[in-house]
Amino acid sequence: MASLDYNGFLKTLEEEHPSGKWPASLRSLWFDAQGNWEASHNIAQDIHDNTGSWIHAYLHRKEGDEWNAGYWYGKAGRPFPKISLDGEFKQLVLFVLERDFPKQ
């Protein structure tokens, strides 16, 4: 895949849809950034790895369901974060970008 950075990701929010070539994790985060929690959650709950669990946890934290978020942070092997939701969102996007869009 071509290289994509955080600012490039944010620029894609001007589009109507995320790229179909992106991994599910990045599409889920794109929908969250668009304010579509439901679409983001629907994608995240079908990602059966630590990244999917982390996104799932973040979404439930954002929703205000700390118990459910705590469960998913545990599944992701991550502590409940002490940073802002915006900070965690950026961490998630950067993690996915670094993993799936390595710098050339």
* Per-residue pLDDT reduced to its tens digit, 6-62: 999 999 999 999 999 999 999 999 999 999 999 999 999 999 999 999 999 999 999
Task: Say what the pTM is.
Answer: 0.94
**CATH says 23-100 is which class?**
mainly alpha
Residues with Cβ within 8 Å of 69's Cβ and at least 6 positions away in sequence, in order, are 57, 58, 60, 61, 63, 80
As a residue count, the chain comes to 104
